[in-house]
Amino acid sequence: MDSKERLIQIKEGSGMNWKELSAYFQIPYRTIQDWERGNRKMPEYVLRLMEYKLRMEKLID
């Protein structure tokens, strides 16, 4: 599974939309859009940190 698919799974698992996710992580909305569309490659460590934070705050399983 690539980072784009994992990002979408994280979003869906958290119950947030893209705007809420960008505000939660303080990442520009446009950057998240580019990652989701595949226009830019998301750094793997950012994806792992996002997933870790959501798991620690019990927002995803």
- Position 58 scores a pLDDT of 92
Question: What tens digit of pLDDT does each residue of 11-52 get?
Answer: 999 999 999 999 999 999 999 999 999 899 999 999 999 999
- Position 2 scores a pLDDT of 87
Give a yes or no: residue 61 inside a domain: no
As for how many domains the chain has, the answer is 1
- E strands in the chain: none
pTM of the model as a whole? 0.84
Give a yes or no: residue 32 inside a domain: yes
The CATH number assigned to the domain holding 9 equals 1.10.260
Q: For residue 56, is pLDDT > 90?
A: yes
- Residue 51's domain spans which residues? 3-56
Give a yes or no: residue 34 inside a domain: yes
- Position 51 scores a pLDDT of 94
Helix axes 3-14, 29-37, angle to 10 degrees: 120
- Position 60 scores a pLDDT of 87
